[in-house]
């Protein structure tokens, strides 16, 4: 039956593993893009459209693919018109995880069991908007309702973190920043100069050379630590291998600050070198580094010029990344400064090479180098199964830190349920095939660890 209590669970073993060991575990969302200000202000939503479609480029891409005009996606169309456009789109998206997520959100958050169709759209619109007026539908109450214990937002080094400071008084859950210095790394961009000025102001370090840049970033890390930060994050389309040379890095930084253009090779060298220096600092502070790889950004320049980044014009790179990560890890390992690291690739062709490479740099820290969850275009039914299978076959699945939302939506937490159901079903299939013993208690402990306990221990929350 559609989304019944045992959906995706095809045998008795999977049902026991999910209902007894995974279903009621708390959620640690260690990577997302929620706005801490919206959490602090406990903002209510006026309509389901605002909660569902605001900022959600996953949905925007599907709506464009369905021929929906832009005014009903990112434009000034009425909320009900946008809602109807999404309903018409999702009706055709069978097999897409958003079809399941959409209905799972209706069921778990709004208490609506009906299938969403054009015929009953007006009824569901009324029911959802009536529910959204309740106090339980504010941002903080949604977080509590979904049993979320930790949220790690994504924050620039120059962010004030004022709302993280204010949220320290919240006891039901914790909101921590994540240090994402992409703007300090993207030296080739024209806005780099104004960014350095802002970083100088925020860090109270007058940045005139590369060494001062690194010092300024470290001072901001120290401030992030006072707000409970335990993670950093980087987005690289690719990372190219080089030999580290601080003198050359200093020369490249000075050249760029003279407003001279850098060659593509020089940009790659700078990005690799600064990554080395930052990773050393993460290890020093006991942070976990996240490396998100192979996303190509703003492919549609017309869309980017009209609506800015994160509008649905990002895609999947198909280059090579293993050699750059290998060189980075080797440089850090020689110095004994390799931090705990989670590797994500947007291209599943990289899964097996990354899992193989991880095994070269593991240490006495259990699960030190992690293979990140199926990300973005891959957090589908088959994508999640492939990521789990690849990790299990090449590493230690029992050490995996599990699922994240990577979302800008407060309604996205049922994705953790989706992941947990797939995990339990996959493990139960290995039992049926005779690859695992039919020991529910033994397997249940592993399921509990992947669902919640590993992340809590690994990040030190």
Q: Over the chain, what is the mean pLDDT? A: 96
Per domain, the residue ranges of the chain are 12-45+139-459, 46-137
Name the band, by pLDDT with cuts 50, 70 and 90, for residue 136: confident
Which pLDDT score, from 0 to 100, does residue 238 have?
85
Q: For 12-45+139-459, which CATH class?
A: alpha beta
Q: Residue 280 pLDDT > 90, yes or no?
A: yes
pLDDT, tens digit, 9 for 90 and up, residues 237-279: 889 999 999 999 999 999 999 999 999 999 999 999 999 999 9
Which pLDDT score, from 0 to 100, does residue 55 have?
86
**Domain 46-137 in CATH: superfamily?**
uronate isomerase, domain 2, chain A (1.10.2020.10)
pLDDT, tens digit, 9 for 90 and up, residues 410-434: 999 999 999 999 999 999 999 999 9
Which pLDDT score, from 0 to 100, does residue 220 have?
98
Which pLDDT score, from 0 to 100, does residue 39 have?
97
Which pLDDT score, from 0 to 100, does residue 44 have?
86
Q: Residue 308 pLDDT > 90, yes or no?
A: no
Which pLDDT score, from 0 to 100, does residue 373 have?
97
pLDDT, tens digit, 9 for 90 and up, residues 60-99: 999 999 999 999 999 999 999 999 999 999 999 999 999 9
Which pLDDT score, from 0 to 100, does residue 414 have?
97
Name the band, by pLDDT with cuts 50, 70 and 90, for residue 148: very high
Buried b (16+ CB within 10 A) or exposed e, 341-354: bbbbbbbbebbebb
Which pLDDT score, from 0 to 100, does residue 43 have?
83
Domains 12-45+139-459 and 46-137 fall in the same CATH topology: no
Cβ partners under 8 Å of residue 255, min gap 6:
262, 266
Name the band, by pLDDT with cuts 50, 70 and 90, for residue 406: very high
């Amino acid at each position: 039956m559609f989304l019944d209590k045992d959906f995706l669970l095809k045998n008795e073993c999977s049902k026991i593993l999910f209902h007894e060991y995974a279903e009621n575990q708390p959620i640690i969302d260690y990577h997302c893009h929620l706005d801490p200000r919206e959490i602090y202000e406990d903002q209510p939503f006026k309509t389901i459209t605002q909660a569902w479609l605001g900022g959600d480029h996953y949905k925007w891409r599907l709506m464009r693919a369905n021929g929906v005009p832009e005014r009903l996606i990112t434009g000034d169309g009425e909320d009900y018109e946008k809602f109807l456009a999404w309903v018409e789109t999702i009706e055709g998206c069978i097999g897409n995880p958003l079809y399941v997520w959409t209905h799972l959100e209706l069921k778990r958050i709004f208490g609506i069991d009906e299938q969403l169709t054009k015929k009953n759209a007006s009824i569901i619109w009324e029911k959802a908007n009536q529910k959204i007026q309740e106090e339980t539908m504010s941002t903080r109450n949604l977080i509590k309702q979904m049993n979320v214990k930790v949220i790690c937002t994504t924050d620039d080094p120059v962010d004030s973190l004022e709302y993280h400071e204010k949220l320290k008084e919240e006891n039901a859950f914790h909101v921590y920043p994540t240090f994402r210095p992409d703007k300090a790394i993207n030296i080739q961009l024209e806005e780099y100069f104004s960014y350095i000025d802002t970083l100088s102001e925020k860090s109270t370090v007058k940045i005139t050379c590369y060494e001062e840049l690194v010092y300024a970033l470290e001072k901001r890390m120290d401030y992030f630590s006072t707000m409970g930060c335990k993670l950093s994050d980087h987005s690289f389309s690719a990372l190219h291998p080089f030999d580290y040379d601080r003198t050359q890095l200093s020369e490249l930084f000075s050249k760029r600050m003279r407003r001279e253009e850098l060659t593509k090779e020089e940009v790659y060298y700078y990005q690799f070198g600064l990554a080395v220096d930052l990773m050393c600092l993460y290890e020093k502070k006991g942070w976990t580094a996240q490396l998100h790889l192979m996303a190509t950004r703003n492919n549609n320049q017309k869309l980017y010029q009209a609506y800015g980044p994160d509008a649905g014009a990002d895609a999947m790179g198909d280059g090579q990344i293993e050699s750059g990560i290998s060189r980075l890890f080797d440089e850090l390992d020689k110095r004994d400064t390799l931090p705990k690291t989670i590797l994500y690739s947007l291209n599943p062709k990289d899964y097996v090479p990354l899992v193989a490479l991880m095994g070269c740099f593991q240490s006495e820290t259990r699960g030190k180098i992690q293979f990140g969850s199926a990300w973005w275009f891959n957090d589908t039914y088959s994508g999640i199964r492939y990521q789990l299978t690849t990790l299990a076959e090449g590493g230690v699945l029992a050490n995996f830190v599990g699922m994240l939302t990577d979302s800008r939506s407060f309604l996205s937490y049922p994705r953790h349920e989706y992941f947990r159901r797939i995990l339990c079903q996959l493990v139960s299939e290995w039992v049926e095939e005779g690859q695992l013993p039919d020991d529910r208690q033994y397997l249940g402990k592993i399921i509990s660890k992947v669902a919640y306990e590993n992340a809590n221990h690994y990040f030190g929350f």
